């Protein structure tokens, strides 16, 4: 067994087909089949279940996948750490950003990175929070900003960045003000426009209301934050968001907002451990941390506090 065999094994897992994996790694399918047979013989366990649509992992295969990813990641990290000394970032890096970060962080981070490292190809995925979480889970991004409740992220390092209050946002005529917090129970009496049931903030709100014996009476569900805000401006309903997502709208008088008493959320930096040591990723992480610290120190990020939890490895 060698590193290439493990890489080919992971390619089969990724594609779900021996034929497709053989084409991807440019070897004959019989040769790839023999490699898998040798692995199964070496470990004394069947790794794949064959079916008409391709292959799926057995429980033993799943265990090998976890170890193979870790081994290859460590080898890549060692290679990058040694070869990166004195070398400027190059190649490509993928960043996942929640739409809530647009006004407070996203533009400044992307612009600063492009100015600092123009030779790096930066791919940015901007999406709703739970979609960004899925992108990191599927390794389609190297770095992402997440809500701290993110779970089941294998080979990902999670580091809290900031904690901020959760706000009720409504039309200007609702009269919500920043200095008058509202009770969470109020949400059960309002026409709430919320994101999908997979949204972490929605799950948090539903949990808090359940403790009070109440539940949301959602009038509308929208998978898109810009549309939610536009509907609020038109008097269609209310929503619940972190302050960073509505700061610009409140400042312009297009919506009103009030903190929900006792509710906070933590923004967390998630990094794919297999890519964490590449120069392009390291510089992106450093830039995000600097940008967050600067916003907090200047007061531009209202009620944001430095994350107090330790880093979490998953």
Q: Which pLDDT score, from 0 to 100, does residue 122 have?
A: 96
**Would you list the DSSP string of 240-258?**
EEEHHHHHHHHHTTSSEEE
Q: How far apart are CA 8 and CA 27, in angstroms?
A: 10
Cα-Cα-Cα-Cα dihedral sign, residues 8, 54, 156, 161:
positive
**Closest among 94, 76, 92 to 135, alpha carbons compared:** 94
Q: Which pLDDT score, from 0 to 100, does residue 172 have?
A: 92
Q: Which pLDDT score, from 0 to 100, does residue 202 have?
A: 83
Q: How far apart are CA 189 and CA 219, in angstroms?
A: 11
CA distances from 13 to 38, 83, 197, 240, 254 (A): 16, 29, 29, 39, 49
Q: Which pLDDT score, from 0 to 100, does residue 31 have?
A: 92
- Per the CB < 8 A criterion, the answer to whether 143 and 288 are in contact is yes
Q: How far apart are CA 273 and CA 230, in angstroms?
A: 38
Give yes or no for residue 86 having a pLDDT over 60. Answer: no
| CB contact set of 245 (below 8 Å; sequence gap of 6+) | 99, 100, 101, 102, 103, 225
Average pLDDT over residues 88-111: 90
Average pLDDT over residues 139-160: 85
Q: Which pLDDT score, from 0 to 100, does residue 265 have?
A: 87
**Closest among 144, 127, 147, 126 to 136, alpha carbons compared:** 144
């Amino acid at each position: 067994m060698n590193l290439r065999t493990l890489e080919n094994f992971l390619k089969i897992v990724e594609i779900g087909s021996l034929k497709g994996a053989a084409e991807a790694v440019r070897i004959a399918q019989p040769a790839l089949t023999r490699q898998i047979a040798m692995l199964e013989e070496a470990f004394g366990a069947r790794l794949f279940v064959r079916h008409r649509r391709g292959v799926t992992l057995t429980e033993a295969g799943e265990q090998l996948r976890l170890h193979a990813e870790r081994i290859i990641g460590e080898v890549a990290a060692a290679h990058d750490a040694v070869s990166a000394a004195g070398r400027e970032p190059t190649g490509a890096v993928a960043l996942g950003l929640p739409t809530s970060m647009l006004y407070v962080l996203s533009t400044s981070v992307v612009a600063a990175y492009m100015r600092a490292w123009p030779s790096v190809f930066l791919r940015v995925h901007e999406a709703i929070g739970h979609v960004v979480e899925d992108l990191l889970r599927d390794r389609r991004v190297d770095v992402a900003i997440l809500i701290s409740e993110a779970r089941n992220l294998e080979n990902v390092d999670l580091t809290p960045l900031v904690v901020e209050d959760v706000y009720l946002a409504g039309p200007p005529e609702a009269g919500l003000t920043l200095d008058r917090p509202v009770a969470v129970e109020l949400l059960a009496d309002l026409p709430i426009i919320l994101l999908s049931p997979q949204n972490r903030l929605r799950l948090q709100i539903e949990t808090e209301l359940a403790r009070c014996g109440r539940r949301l009476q959602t009038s509308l569900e929208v998978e898109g934050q810009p549309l939610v805000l536009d509907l609020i401006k038109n008097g269609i309903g209310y929503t619940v968001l972190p302050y960073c997502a509505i700061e610009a709208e409140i400042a312009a008088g297009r919506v009103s907002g009030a903190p929900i008493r006792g509710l906070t959320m933590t923004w967390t930096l998630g990094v794919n451990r297999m890519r964490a040591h590449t120069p392009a990723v390291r510089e992106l992480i450093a830039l995000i941390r600097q940008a967050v610290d600067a916003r907090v120190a200047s007061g531009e990020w209202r009620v944001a506090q430095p994350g107090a939890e330790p880093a979490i490895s998953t």
